[in-house]
Amino acid sequence: MREFWKRFAGLFNSSRLDDEMRGEMQHHIELQKQKNLDAGMSEKEAYNAAIRQFGNTLIIQQQERENRSFLWVEQLYRDIKRAGRSLIGAKGFSFVVIATLALCIGVNTTIFSALHDLVLKPFPFKDGDRLIQVFNISSGFKGKSSESSIAQYHAFRANADLFDGFALLWNQEKTVDLDGYTQLLKGKRVSFDLFDLAGVQPVIGSFFGEEAHVPGSGQGQVVVLPQSVWENEYNSDPDALGREIPFTDGPYTIIGVAPCSMEAFGREIEFLIPLRTSARLAEVRYLEGLPIDMWARLRPGVSKEAGEAQLAALEMRWLREESSPRIRSYLERIGRDVQLGQPSQLKQSFIMLQVGAVFVLLIGCVNVMNLLLSRAGRMQHELSIRNALGAGKGALSRLMLIESSLLVFMAVVVGSILSLGGLKIINHYLSVADPSIPAVTIDGAVGFSILGFAGLIALTMGFLPLGLLWKAGVIQRLDSAERIASVGGFARKLSSSMVISQVMIAFILVIGAGLLLRSFVNVMSVDPGFDAEDVIQARVTVPRQYRNTVDGTIFRDGVANALREVPGVDSIAFVLNEPVSESDVFQKEQIHIRRSPYADEEPASMAYTLIVSRAFFDMMGIPVLEGRSHNESDSSEHGFSGFVVDRSFAEFFFPDGSAVGEEMSLSQRPKADKPWGRIVGVVEGASLVGLESDDNFPVLYKAYRGAKPASFTLLIKTSREENSVLKDVRNKLRTFDPKLVLSHGKSLQTVLEDMLVNRRGATTLIFCFAGIALVLSGIGLYGLLSYDVQQRQREIGVRAAIGASRRSVLKMILRNGLSKAVTGLVLGFLASLYLTRFLESQLFDITALDAVAYVAAIFFLLLVAFVASFLPARRAVRLDPLESLRAE
Amino acid sequence: MKKVRKELLQGTLDLLILKALSTGQMHGWDISKRIQVVSKDRLKLKQGSLYPALHRLENRDWIKAEWGVSEAGRSAKFYELTKKGKAQLQEEKDHWLSFAEAMASVLKMEES
């Protein structure tokens, strides 16, 4: 330890120590000289002999310095300076290497961060890896997850003994009346056991218990704030406890603050309130249709598969015991299944993107490696001289290693900056795709693995070229004749097989990108079945005083009349929920059909339901195929009596005849003496659950009536520009009632496109990757051939001198390049035949072996290969045979 | 030409210095003289290599140095053994002797 500190100190006072030492040695030499003088030598002889006997003081002092301090630190500093100079000397080389690696590192860091955050990372809670989401997969809906239900939660909670517990979260928006204007807050209604499940403690105050779920239990409404809100809005004031938040539906008392980690359940949580369940919502028939997420904690040591199996068995059992045959037949039809983990949509995209990113990285590394090999060839002379001057294999390795480390370091710096930008883009996409996903960041684990990986690249880059040169024995010999043999056959074979694999990987990526692009174009060209361009939707929050039947109607008529005065507004319609939304949040209800001969045996089914005002079909441009659209008699405060259904509903339930006039009811079968509803019309199908959905799930439209909703969606048909219309509409509504809130205004076209954001994002990224891969492998091929031409200058010169035509030289180089490209292409083609099947779930309306994509990919790859081979070939042709011979 | 091997075996210089210093305080030149005299010129010491070795031993706290005035009237660095150095000398001496004895017995056996 002492020695360490002395050495460490030696780093800083080396000049003083040098002086001392010089004095000491001088003294020694003088004494020796004196002795020599005494022995009878002349003055000059005595001095020279003394010096000779002593040895070279400079070398000794150097030896001493090695002793004294961490020489390697000083040496490292010198080496880094030297390597820096040498890299600055080779500007083009350094730039290309750093740019290539930075691009690859940036891309991979970005994608891996996202993959890690969204898919791989356990939750930031104690034993977070045991915390897992429970969701229902419906194979009938192309594997989309659907919401959980309260009934399912109770069934699992009572019986699943492989789990520590279950908890429910229900997205909730609430308005707050603040100083005369209304603000919209996003939060969650959660079951009390969520906090236990997450294993979190309140920052201050307490969480609510089970009793808070029972309405009218004497306890007032309570709210738990997330830490960020407490810090920002309440300045971390402990007195915030006990204060009330004036939500529009009544005051909520703040009882506690939840730690930041709760944001893992969604980044836009501004409040957490108890999930109060009425007995009705806990019935089995509300198996679907409520926006509920369920989370569970596995017992220690229980695998995900075991948990999944138990839940699946439980689900079968309780459904058999408690649900009707109708519900079971419906569930069978949609192929419902319980799974643990995360909904697979994003996961699949990100795994695909990660594979793409790794491919890009491989290609990039191959390029860098080839560059290094050819640079090592060029540096061979320098290395040989250094070797001759006494630098052994170790010293040369250090030299190369420091150079490559420097390059990789720069690449990591630039790559990190790139990936920060990349994450911004990804986060933007994610916030559109699913606002509940927390923002992706680069965390320690990812950073660490990237650094480790970069270190590995640096090592390979440092050692491989040198190793090859050393092995070929070219460094040890100085004579220039050897240079023609160059880096050696092995290295050249390595280079060309690397280029072949590059082309292969690039081809796979291009195929993937082609397939995804074709799918995207196919999705975009789907006719939604309604006029999405000119219809703008906006959410209206109804002020409290209008939430009764009479005033609700007055309010709506008032809004409609006011808006008709806005210039450019052609028509107005109301929809209770969102007219277009993902299939997993679209309202579904049970359908009961009454047929005369077997009225009671008919099982219930499910259909999407949407409550629309009368103007809806007209303004959306959805044609009525049969019967009529809604009129005033179709709904009243007693219920719905006339339904409009879409084409797939009619074809599904009444394949043999007309649906119009048939009797049916929703949710519950009417009691014996009560009337059934009637289907009054059939309309054309429309893509209300997005362009990608081709499940043809039946849709039923109910007539908007004098209901008392807290909010509804306003549809405005206009030919004017979206934002300016919305501004006018907002102003107009404010004159009608200043407390009215209009939010989420956008055109239906935007809504449809936002639903594709996942596909659009993944397609764009893979397309970028394929582009990068194509360019990089083009550069790789070009680099290899250029180097080849340069090395074979003499041979080409000889050929030309003995009469080879320019054409034949051109052909020779082209053939060389294209044969490599074609080999890679064939390998890539074979690999694609196998690999593209993993893309199948992402494709739309094409097969994984789509001929157009394949032909296009082959064409692009050959084009790039041709350009990459032609440029060096042209250079070879332009060589003057005499010049190139003389160059030797 | 056959080289007469006179250079020191690696690692023996430290021991020689410690031994030389066991007789008392002395400066660098004295140490080199003393080694040559005692070994009857059989051990050829590169004089220059003495100093790095001295400083190495100093760093290990086996010897300590102080500036003084030499017999020639110049300021010089005088070295002497520390307590740790004495212990080290004893240890290395024992080790070296037993090693040399072992080597010798092996080599002689081979000859016979």
**Rounded Cα–Cα distance for residues A451 and A214 (Å):** 53
Same domain, A742 and A769: no
Rounded to 10 deg, the angle between the A806-835 and A851-878 helix axes is 150
Tokens for A753, please give them: 């496109």
Q: How far is B29 from chain A (nearest CA, A)?
A: 5
Taking residues A258-284, report their average pLDDT.
Answer: 79
Same domain, A194 and A285: yes
Is-contact A118 A284, C-beta < 8 A?
Answer: no
Taking only residues 20 to 39 of chain B, the set having a beta carbon closer than 8 angstroms to any beta carbon of chain A reads 27-29, 32
Task: Specify if A227 maps to a domain.
Answer: yes
Q: Is the pLDDT of residue A366 over 90?
A: no
**Element (DSSP H or E) covering residue B67:** strand B63-69
Tokens for A656, please give them: 């043999």
Token pair 């994610």 is found at: A430
Same domain, A369 and A490: yes
> Cβ contact (<8 Å) for B77 and A59?
no
Centroid of chain to Cα A465: 36
Same domain, A62 and A189: no
Residues of chain A above pLDDT 70, percent: 85
> Cβ contact (<8 Å) for B77 and A20?
yes
pLDDT tens digits, one per residue of A590-644: 777 877 655 555 555 678 889 898 889 999 999 999 888 888 778 776 677 889 9
β-pairing verdict for A677-683 and A624-627: antiparallel
Task: Specify if A194 maps to a domain.
Answer: yes
Q: Is the pLDDT of residue A683 over 80?
A: yes
* Cβ neighbours of A473 (radius 10 Å): 11
Among A362-376, A487-501, B91-105, name the most confident range.
B91-105
> Cβ contact (<8 Å) for A67 and B32?
no
Task: Specify if A539 maps to a domain.
Answer: yes
Handedness of CA A596, A597, A601, A606 (dihedral sign): negative
Secondary structure of residue A185 in the 3-state scheme: strand
Closest-CA residue of chain B to A24: B76
Residue type, A601: E
Same domain, A744 and A769: no
Between A567 and A326, the higher pLDDT residue: A567
Domain extent listing, chain B: 12-111
Closest-CA residue of chain A to B44: A53
Tokens for A223, please give them: 């709210």
- Alpha carbon distances (Å) from A640 to A500, A611, A634, A637, A643: 68, 10, 6, 8, 7
Same domain, A149 and A27: no
Q: How far is A82 from chain B (nearest CA, A)?
A: 28
Task: Specify if A81 maps to a domain.
Answer: no
Chain A residues close to B28, C-beta within 8 Å: 24, 27-28
Chain A residues close to B29, C-beta within 8 Å: 27-28, 31-32
Per-residue pLDDT of chain B (112 residues; tens, 9 = 90+): 344 445 566 668 888 888 888 888 888 888 888 888 888 777 777 777 788 788 888 888 888 888 887 776 777 888 888 888 888 889 888 988 898 888 888 888 765 5
* Residues whose CB is less than 8 angstroms from the CB of residue A276 and which lie 6 or more positions away in sequence, other chains included: A189, A212, A213, A214, A215
Secondary structure of residue A654 in the 3-state scheme: coil
> Cβ contact (<8 Å) for B49 and A53?
no
Query: Which domain does A824 fall in, by range?
Result: 346-524+757-886
Residue type, A564: R
pTM: 0.67
Same domain, A601 and A642: yes
pLDDT tens digits, one per residue of A390-433: 777 777 777 788 888 888 889 889 998 998 888 888 888 777 77
Same domain, A579 and A436: no
Last residue of a domain, one of A748, A782, A813: A748
- Where residue A482 falls among pLDDT bands split at 50, 70, 90? very low
Taking residues A478-501, report their average pLDDT.
Answer: 66
Task: Specify if A584 maps to a domain.
Answer: yes
Nearest by CB to residue B51, choosing from A2, A32, A60, is: A60
> Cβ contact (<8 Å) for B59 and A63?
no
CATH 3.40.50.2300 holds for B12-111: no
**Element (DSSP H or E) covering residue B16:** helix B12-21
Q: Based on the structure, what is the number of domains in chain A?
A: 4
Task: Specify if A764 maps to a domain.
Answer: yes
Same domain, A502 and A572: no
Chain B residues close to A55, C-beta within 8 Å: 46-49
With 0-12 CB in 10 A as exposed, 13-18 as middle and 19+ as buried, what is A239?
A: exposed
* Residues whose CB is less than 8 angstroms from the CB of residue A507 and which lie 6 or more positions away in sequence, other chains included: A824, A825, A828, A829, A831, A832, A857, A858, A861
Nearest by CB to residue A67, choosing from B50, B55, B74, is: B55
Residue A19 is predicted with a pLDDT of 79
Is-contact A117 A443, C-beta < 8 A?
Answer: yes
Taking residues A464-475, report their average pLDDT.
Answer: 70
Same domain, A706 and A825: no
Residue A830 is predicted with a pLDDT of 93
Token pair 């082209």 is found at: A814
DSSP annotation of A148:
B
Is-contact A55 B48, C-beta < 8 A?
Answer: yes
Q: How far is B32 from chain A (nearest CA, A)?
A: 10
Q: How far is B94 from chain A (nearest CA, A)?
A: 25
With 0-12 CB in 10 A as exposed, 13-18 as middle and 19+ as buried, what is A600?
A: exposed
Residues of A with CB under 8 A from a CB of B: 2-3, 6-7, 20-21, 23-25, 27-28, 30-32, 34, 53-57, 59-60, 63-64, 66-68
Task: Specify if A317 maps to a domain.
Answer: no
Tokens for A642, please give them: 């006339």
**Rounded Cα–Cα distance for residues B77 and B54 (Å):** 11
Residue A142 is predicted with a pLDDT of 47
Chain B residues close to A60, C-beta within 8 Å: 48-49, 51-52
pLDDT tens digits, one per residue of A73-101: 777 787 888 888 888 888 888 888 888 88
Same domain, A574 and A483: no
pLDDT tens digits, one per residue of A787-839: 788 777 778 888 888 888 888 888 888 898 899 999 999 999 999 988 888 88
Tokens for A354, please give them: 């990660």
Residue A856 is predicted with a pLDDT of 92
Which of B58, B59, B61 is the best substitution to test chain A (most A C-beta atoms within 10 A)?
Answer: B59
Task: Specify if A333 maps to a domain.
Answer: no
Which of B34, B51, B88 is the best substitution to test chain A (most A C-beta atoms within 10 A)?
Answer: B51
Same domain, A222 and A366: no
Among A62-71, A304-313, A701-710, name the most confident range.
A304-313
